[in-house]
Structure 1
């Protein structure tokens, strides 16, 4: 295979993984127009359309999906071969691509960025903050951080935090005006702050447990948000009752700005995990990142 043919196939696989010419071009560090020309040349040479394009999305055609299924293992093996060679370097180097839920990025990555750079100046961290439960393998990421109950299958997972507990909160002034719910069903009589899943755009049904009894409640209220930080901020402003999983809410409870309610019904769930695909040889740059985050998160 000539170098130009490999570059064309690699470009095709990258576009399919990112679902976007612009994102793939940024990943490959070429211009979108140059990348488009490369794919056009590949499709003309093969005589088939590999990508279906619209103004909003790019996806593999039937022929493209078939090619991608055989091509991806080959490219992964080439990446692993290069990683094996770079293991002989004295200092880890290269790019590590991370996909992290927003809450995880703020909690685990934000405080470490400066220290990680000083410890590993030759590693480039490419962080995508994403709450959509992306497939990190399909998206071309090296690792991810998310809640344990949402981990993808066949991943190596490292626990970064203990189990977490959901918190149902409201301001003291709201409760003084509208009363305090005693059971989850009482929420139907209250102004609640709805949260929307960014993945499928459905509203989150509030989950409760007491003993062996479990209840899901579809709440109503004046706000629908798809960002948990905004949910917490709205609760602090007295908009209504909020269901939050952000540990930062506890400090507002401790300060008396928020009051926790329905505590006996609040379930616990697995905390955050750092996870990555199982590989024959973990690249040194990724290993350095994994070790650094794990050591500081568990310190």
Structure 2
């Protein structure tokens, strides 16, 4: 069927149902004369007269009545299909699989769960605590939050969390026994609790800055963990110094169980140079926005940062690179996924 045929059928059914060219023209938002021309052209192409016209009335011919009987159910089904598609678009449903670090789930996602369930009662949210940086799409996840340094080139980032600050901390008991470090270089004389991401062999190098100059410090200690909660508990127990996001250590800092260290070396990152941000990442061709971004949206501002070489031999410099130790929500390259591990119609999330 050509597009003009469909428009003609729609016009024919409207005139037949309204019993008037004037009323049908109002329904279709066209002029009566234009509608009359459309019907006349339709009749000419079919080679049959569909309406009996007088100055006072419009009625169907026998051929017109037969055509209406067949076309009305088809148009009704067509309209119902469009309405169903629109309803599904407006009401997401299915299972949304999200992987995220434990702390991101606790501090970013958990406060939003109630709102999410209220807005999207037909969506089953499947959260997996995961510290690795593997390909979430290949692993069957629909979305993921990452405390990582890179966003793939085919991904677009949108913030979903505030600027963050990473600081070193230790317990009062440890500091009383071993002293307080006054510069990042002093950490080489302390017991440090190292953190290693799942699936990686090397430990994380602690990052500091002073007067706009960034550098990494490779610290040593007798404990390496791959769970930030374990590292924080070990620091609270007096086993050494560790480093983590300040906002995510709020209870320990407020109670005095952990003491912030080297704060002048741990600035906030704001404006165009901000790098410690929560972000949403999705494929560039994907037109849908995530629920997370609607709940809490910040601008994306990825910028390069230079890490000059530190003078201490144990400090590892970081080359000129664009770093984003951000929280990232990544959405897979498909708008809907059918079958296991999940099938969600993202719709207008």
TM category (shorter chain) comes to 0.5 to 0.7
Provide, for residues 170-208 of structure 1, a one-character-per-residue CA deviation record: whole Å limited to 9, x for no partner. 112211111111111111111111111223231111121
Aligned to 1:235: 235
Distance in 2, matches of 1:153 and 1:242, equals: 32
CA contact (8 A) 2:103 2:248 kept: no
CA positional deviation for 1:220: 1.8
Q: Which residue matches 1:264?
A: 264
Q: What CA deviation, in whole Å up to 9, does each residue of 1:77-131 have, x standing for no partner?
A: xxxxxxxx85542632122222222221122222333442343222122223222
Greater Rg by CA: 2
Q: Any conservation in 1 of the 2:191–2:220 contact (CA below 8 Å)?
A: yes
Q: Give the alignment's Cα RMSD to 1 decimal.
A: 2.5
* Most deviating of 164-173 and 245-254: 245-254
SS at match of 1:116: helix
8 Å CA contact 1:148–1:273 kept in 2: the answer is no
Shift >6 Å, 4+ stretches = none
Residues 167/235 of structure 1: CA separation in 2 closer, same or farther (3 Å cut): same
Q: Assess, with a 3 A threshold, how the Cα gap between structure 1 residues 108 and 86 changes in structure 2: closer, same or farther.
A: farther
CA distance in 2, matches of 1:148, 1:133: 7
- The 8 Å contact of residues 178 and 190 in structure 1, kept in 2 or not, is answered as yes
The runs of 5 or more residues in structure 2 that have no matched partner are 1-83, 270-274, 299-349
Structure 2 match to 1:275:
281
Contact 1:99–1:128 at 8 Å: present in 2 too? yes
Q: Superposition pairs for residues 135-214 of structure 1, below 5 Å?
A: 135-147=135-147, 149-214=149-214
Any unmatched runs of 5+ in structure 1? 1-84
Q: SS state of the match for residue 248, structure 1?
A: helix
Q: Distance in 2 between matches of 1:246 and 1:231?
A: 14
Asked whether the equivalents of residues 103 and 246 of structure 1 are also in contact (C-alpha less than 8 Å), the reply is: no
Give the Cα separation in 2 of the matches to 1:169 and 1:280: 41
Matched residues, number: 208
Residues 277 and 129 from structure 1, CA distance in 2 versus in 1: closer, same or farther, beyond 3 angstroms? Answer: farther
* Distance (whole Å) between structure 1 residues aligned to residue 169 and residue 297 of structure 2: 28
Residues 135 and 152 in structure 1, CA contact (< 8 A), matched pair in contact too: no
CA contact (8 A) 1:148 1:271 kept: no
Match status 1:119 vs 2:119: yes
The structure-2 alpha-carbon separation of the partners of 1:116 and 1:162, relative to structure 1 and needing over 3 Å to count, comes to closer
SS in 2 for 1:164: coil
